[in-house]
Amino acid sequence: MQDAAACRVDGKVNLGGVRAANKTPAGLKKRTMRRRQHFSTGADKSRAEMAGRIHTHPSLHRKIRQYKTARSGRELHAVLDASGCKSLHIAFECGTYSLMLTKRVTIYDIAERVGVSHVTVSLALRNHHRISQKRRKQIQKVAGQMGYSPDPMLGALAAYCSSNQPVKVQSAIVWLNHWDQPERLRGAYREYDAYWKGAEKAARHFGYRLDEIRWEPNFTPKRFEQILLTRGIRGILIPPHMVPPKWGCFDWNKFSMIRFGMSVPSPDSHLVTSDQLRAVLMAVKKISDVGYHRIGLVVPEDYDRRLGGNYIGGFAAAQQFYKLTPLPPLLIEESYYFKEPEMAMKLMQQWLERHKPDALISAVAVVPDMLRKLGYRIPEDIAMAGTSIDVPVDAGIDQHSEAIGRMAVGMLVSQINLNERGEPTDPARILIESRWRAGTSLPGKEKQARKSVSKR
């Protein structure tokens, strides 16, 4: 017996309709489009057994017409009524067999089942606020029961058409600044300003305007919430904050939001950040590749704790992976560097004398200046790399901050379009890969040694 794959589909489909016949069942509408598919098979018993593998479905005759042609006595034609028919009925010379087909469920089908308009169904499936929550849940439940899924081809076509239209500014996205000194957020940190620049470009691309709104000290949560609602704000970007903000009774369920990084623990929204753990692994590998093997890490312990321990974890893993001399990281509380710099310098001096690193990775912007005050030359005595562009050395990690800003806005616009508001059931974390910046603060060790000898 031949394999079932031997049943060849001729591939010819008549999209223009099938010639009317005397056997057309009553009730079929004349405008119905019919398709003719050609099947080649033999008329012997083995072909019947092969066709019998198709699942049998008895109630087909009201929708399907069968034709048998005499061409070689072997080719059979099955004509399918394409306007809602869910089964294909195939007549062989030795028997009749049926194949279940699946018709795509549309919003019109759901609307007819629920008893509402197709516009209401469309809005409900997108969680639009114009449809009540009760009605949304009802429609979404029925859609699930009917097996509805969006047509990806229509979605792609709609995206293509919209991409060729001029983008108009339709609303604003808010950059929420709750800093005690709001001007420092972007003025003192180049990394956070790069977040803004990337976010602003992406917002314009999607037809939005990016506005910075500052949470003034005299604002109550309800007043600030009302300011956003009055301005028609639906999306909020939450940039990093040095001190976790106190949001009070602010109702996040009225907004879509994205956090930058993990310094702000709530709301528990989706977030976009740099992959600091992989960035430190990359940095240690790059530094060891140019000849340094006593590599140290300077990072405030409380700062890294807020970030989930990524810097310390990545550094410990890198020392083990690359078989380096294990040096403990310098973990001074962040406040010492700014409020008690003399104490921070004293602790740093003790650590340097004890462990004698030949290269440092620092997450603290003031460390290069402290090293110089302690009498160390960069890179002659200690090579130096930063964990971000805010550390004033030219070698180190570039966290690709503008890409983080672009990604954050893309995610936020997606939530706005889907009417996803409040804290998600399953918060996601998007990690952006960092890049390495080579620079004069971290030359190759052999090159630096030759340079020192030549100066002598």
Q: What is the mean pLDDT of the chain?
A: 79
Which tokens in the block code for residue 48? Answer: 């019947």
Q: What is the pLDDT of residues 10-19, one digit of tens each?
A: 333 333 333 3
Residue with tokens 């004293």: 346
CATH of the domain at 146: 1.10.260
Give me the pLDDT at residue 192, please: 96
Q: How confident is the model at residue 278 (pLDDT cuts 50, 70, 90)?
A: very high
Q: Could you give the maximum distance between any two Cα atoms of the chain, in Å?
A: 107
Query: Which of 116-130, 167-181, 285-299 holds the top average pLDDT?
Result: 285-299
* End-of-domain residue from the set 79, 100, 121: 100
Q: How confident is the model at residue 125 (pLDDT cuts 50, 70, 90)?
A: confident
Instruction: Tell me, yes or no, whether 105 lies in a domain.
Output: no
Give me the pLDDT at residue 163, please: 56
Give me the pLDDT at residue 157, please: 63
Residue 69 has pLDDT above 80, yes or no: no
Give me the pLDDT at residue 257, please: 96
CB 229 within 8 A of CB 259: no
What are the helix (H) ranges across 322-438? 334-339, 341-355, 367-373, 401-417
Instruction: Tell me, yes or no, whether 300 lies in a domain.
Output: yes
CATH of the domain at 418: 3.40.50.2300
Query: In terms of domains, do 286 and 388 share one?
Result: yes
Residue with tokens 């305007």: 209
Query: In terms of domains, do 183 and 155 share one?
Result: no
Query: In terms of domains, do 12 and 77 share one?
Result: yes
Spatial distance between the Cα atoms of 226 and 245, rounded to a whole number of angstroms: 18
Question: How many domains is the chain built from?
Answer: 4
Query: In terms of domains, do 345 and 449 share one?
Result: yes
Spatial distance between the Cα atoms of 129 and 133, rounded to a whole number of angstroms: 8
* Residue length of the chain: 456
CB 379 within 8 A of CB 443: yes
Q: What is the pLDDT of residues 351-391, one digit of tens each?
A: 999 999 999 999 999 999 999 999 999 999 999 999 999 99
Give me the pLDDT at residue 354, please: 96
Q: How many beta carbons lie within 10 A of that of residue 177, not counting itself? A: 20
Query: In terms of domains, do 334 and 449 share one?
Result: yes
Query: In terms of domains, do 269 and 417 share one?
Result: yes
Query: In terms of domains, do 43 and 130 share one?
Result: no
Query: In terms of domains, do 24 and 86 share one?
Result: yes
* End-of-domain residue from the set 75, 100, 125: 100
Q: How confident is the model at residue 105 (pLDDT cuts 50, 70, 90)?
A: confident
Instruction: Tell me, yes or no, whether 145 lies in a domain.
Output: yes
Query: In terms of domains, do 356 and 446 share one?
Result: yes
Query: In terms of domains, do 287 and 409 share one?
Result: no
Instruction: Tell me, yes or no, whether 236 lies in a domain.
Output: yes
Can you tell me the mean pLDDT for 61-90?
A: 40
Q: What is the pLDDT of residues 338-348, one digit of tens each?
A: 999 999 999 99
Query: In terms of domains, do 146 and 11 share one?
Result: no
Spatial distance between the Cα atoms of 336 and 345, rounded to a whole number of angstroms: 9
Q: What is the pLDDT of residues 215-236, one digit of tens each?
A: 998 999 999 999 999 999 999 9
Instruction: Tell me, yes or no, whether 106 lies in a domain.
Output: no
Residue 272 has pLDDT above 60, yes or no: yes
Among 281, 301, 266, 231, residue whose Cα is nearest residue 397:
281
Can you tell me the mean pLDDT for 395-406?
A: 96
Give me the pLDDT at residue 129, please: 72
For CA atoms 17, 18, 22, 23, the dihedral sign is negative
Sheet architecture: strand order including 396-398:
295-298, 359-362, 383-386, 396-398, 435-437
Please, what's the b/e burial string for 205-223 (b: 16 or more CB within 10 A of its CB; e: otherwise)? ebebebeebebeeebeeee
Give me the pLDDT at residue 391, please: 96
Residue 313 has pLDDT above 70, yes or no: yes
Instruction: Tell me, yes or no, whether 386 lies in a domain.
Output: yes
Cis bond leading into 379, ω under 30°?
Answer: yes
Domain residues for the domain of 77 are 4-100
Residue 62 has pLDDT above 80, yes or no: no
Query: In terms of domains, do 178 and 237 share one?
Result: yes
Give me the pLDDT at residue 131, please: 86
